[in-house]
Amino acid sequence: MADYANAQSAVNKANSAVAAQSANVDTYSDGVASASTAKASAQAALDAANTQFASASAANDKAAMIAANSAKANAENDLVSADVAYTTNSAALATAQKNLKNANILVTKANNNLQNVLKEKVSVDEGTAHVEMTVADLVDLVKDWNAKAAASTKKLNAVQSNLASVKDVQAAVDQANADLATAKANLAAAQTTYQTAVDALNALNNGTTTETSANKYGDQLVSGGTTVYSTPAAKAENASASANAAANDDVTAVVPAPTPAEVAGSNVPVDVISSVVWANPTFINDSVAKGAGTYPTQVVVNFTDGSSKTISWNLVVKTAGTSTPDQPSQPDQPSQPSTGDQGGQTGTQTGSNTTVAPNYSGVQGNHYYVNGQQVTKAQYEAHVAANANKSQSANAAALPQTGNENSAAVMALGAVSAMFGLGLAAKKREF
């Protein structure tokens, strides 16, 4: 096959040379023809100028003679140029014709060599068979393979193009399915909204409405009160806490809100109430800071179905009594569960269970406390006796105070004196 390739390459080169020389022959042939035409035209012009000059001379027309001489000179110059062009193109044409003849000879030799190569025998392996054939047959076989390969390539390109189109179609189908799913979801949501609106409209037309827990139980909620016990130190701390919370726009009540059980009473299931919060925590903090008094306020009762109901609630602030050796303080116990502040800290009082401040010493109901810890009556009396002088000094230091604190202290001392001096027990219900 190497000999065939070389022979075919030689034929191709020879054919290219023939083509080039043929083009040159054509070009120079055109040049000779054009020069011949120019030469003939210049000769005709010269002949005309000679005739004109002869006529002018006979007539002794000097102007005509001058014009004829000028035309004669121009014609002679054109004739010389045409002769040069004719000679140059004729020589080039002769060279091109010679080269073309040589190129044709080379083509003939190359083709003869190629034919000899094509007649040569070569061995070809076709699978497991060993076949001998001429180079010409092998060339034809290769051409056939190339034709088939070209056809296969064309088919492959067509398949790939179709596959790309199919992928585009599949992508479009996938997008359409996604859009359809979204549309179905939107339709379902719209249908739900529509059905809700229809149900609401039917309910209005039928004179019925969907009852919420607030509508069902709101009027049955119990409006009560919370009692908090506070000392002068506690009021100052609560006032500071309230001011700081307001400045930070994050108000937290110093007194816990009522529990769901407290507002539920006996007619409302406790489990339908999710939470109870103060309607105005700032007001609660300010009220505790002001001192003793009853402060009407509100609580918000939140139900588990998302509805809510605002009800009235009283915050009762009392001043906690200070223990003395012979007159321990014993504040009245409210009938409603309450939260309180003892000794500067809040606590919760519900029924007979009382949580007092860590530094509280005194009597709450039938319970005795020393420094916030519940003790027996004998232990309490021993503590009072042991700290009599210290307690009296503390009471004396507290007497110069003025305002709501003194009034509340006087009231508490009066109540304590009445209970222990007369043997009477006072009991109030807080709202």
DSSP one-letter string for 268-296? S-GGGEEEEEES-HHHHHHHHHH-SEEEE
Residue whose pair of structure tokens reads 């497991």 in the numeric block: 128
pLDDT of residue 200: 67
pLDDT at residue number 47: 94
Q: In what order do the strands lie in the sheet with 225-230?
A: 225-230, 308-319, 293-303, 273-278
Percent of the chain with pLDDT over 90: 35
Q: What's the pLDDT at 126?
A: 66
Torsion of CA 35, 37, 38, 41, to 10 degrees: 160
- CB neighbours of 14 closer than 8 A, spacing ≥ 6? 103, 106, 107, 109, 110, 111
pLDDT score for 232: 54
Which residue in 397, 404, 421, 396 sits closest to 328, CA to CA? 421
Q: What is the CA radius of gyration of the chain?
A: 63
pLDDT at 326: 41
State the pLDDT confidence band at 188, using cuts at 50, 70 and 90.
Answer: confident
Predicted local distance difference test score (pLDDT) of residue 372: 67
Length of the chain: 431
Largest alpha-carbon pair distance within the chain?
184
Most confident of 72-81, 198-207, 247-256, 411-420: 72-81
Instruction: Annotate 385-422 with DSSP letters as a single string.
Output: HHTHHHHHHHHHHHTT--THHHHHHHHHHHHHHHHHHH
Residue 352 has pLDDT above 50, yes or no: no
pLDDT band at 143; cut points 50, 70, 90: confident
Residue matched to tokens 């860590």:
358
Give the per-residue pLDDT at 336. 42
Q: Are 89 and 35 in contact (CB under 8 A)?
A: yes
Mean pLDDT of 49-77: 91
Structure tokens at 46: 């010269």
- Angle, vertex CA 27, rays to CA 23 and CA 30, nearest 5: 140
- pTM, 2 dp: 0.33
Q: Which of 86-100, 175-189, 246-260, 382-396 is least confident? A: 382-396
Only one residue has tokens 């009407």, namely: 296
pLDDT at 274 over 70: yes
pLDDT at 75 over 70: yes
- Picking from 38-47, 162-171, 308-317, 385-394, which range would have the lowest pLDDT averaged per residue? 385-394
CA angle 49, 52, 58 (to 5 degrees): 140
Compute the average pLDDT of residues 227-247: 58
pLDDT score at 413: 44
Cα–Cα distance, 379 to 385 (Å, whole number): 10
- Mean pLDDT along residues 14-29: 93
What mean pLDDT is predicted for residues 335-340? 41
What pLDDT, on a 0 to 100 scale, did the predictor assign at position 131? Answer: 78
In the sheet that holds 353-354, the strands lie side by side as: 338-342, 345-350, 353-354
Write out pLDDT tens, residues 295-328: 999 999 999 999 999 999 999 998 865 344 444 4
Could you give the CA distance from residue 135 to residue 323 in angstroms, rounded to a whole number?
Answer: 131
Position 163 pLDDT exceeds 60: yes
Mean pLDDT along residues 70-93: 92
> What Å distances lie between residue 145 and 131, 142, 150, 331, CA to CA?
17, 5, 8, 116
Q: Residue 261 pairs with which residues in a beta bridge?
A: none
Rounded Cα distance between 153 and 68, Å, is: 77
Domains of the chain listed by start with CATH number: 2-119 (1.10.287.620), 214-422 (no CATH)
pLDDT bin (cut points 50, 70, 90) of residue 86 is: very high
Look at residue 367 and tell me whether its pLDDT is greater than 90.
Answer: no
d(CA 402, CA 265): 40
Over residues 378-427, the pLDDT tens digits come to: 777 777 776 664 544 444 444 444 444 444 444 444 444 444 443 433 33
25 vs 120 pLDDT, higher one: 25
* pLDDT given at position 105: 94
Q: Encoding tokens for residue 73?
A: 């000179």
- Helices 388-398 and 377-386: crossing angle in degrees, nearest 10, is 70
pLDDT-derived band at 189 (thresholds 50, 70, 90) equals confident
- Which parts of 129-224 fold into alpha helices (H)? 135-205, 213-217
Q: Whole-number mean pLDDT of the chain?
A: 77
pLDDT in tens, 252-273: 888 999 999 999 988 899 999 9
Question: Which whole number is the average pLDDT over 22-51?
Answer: 93
**Exposure pattern of 233-245 as b/e (b: 16+ CB <10 Å)?**
ebbebbbebbeeb
Tokens 């014009």 sit on residue: 67
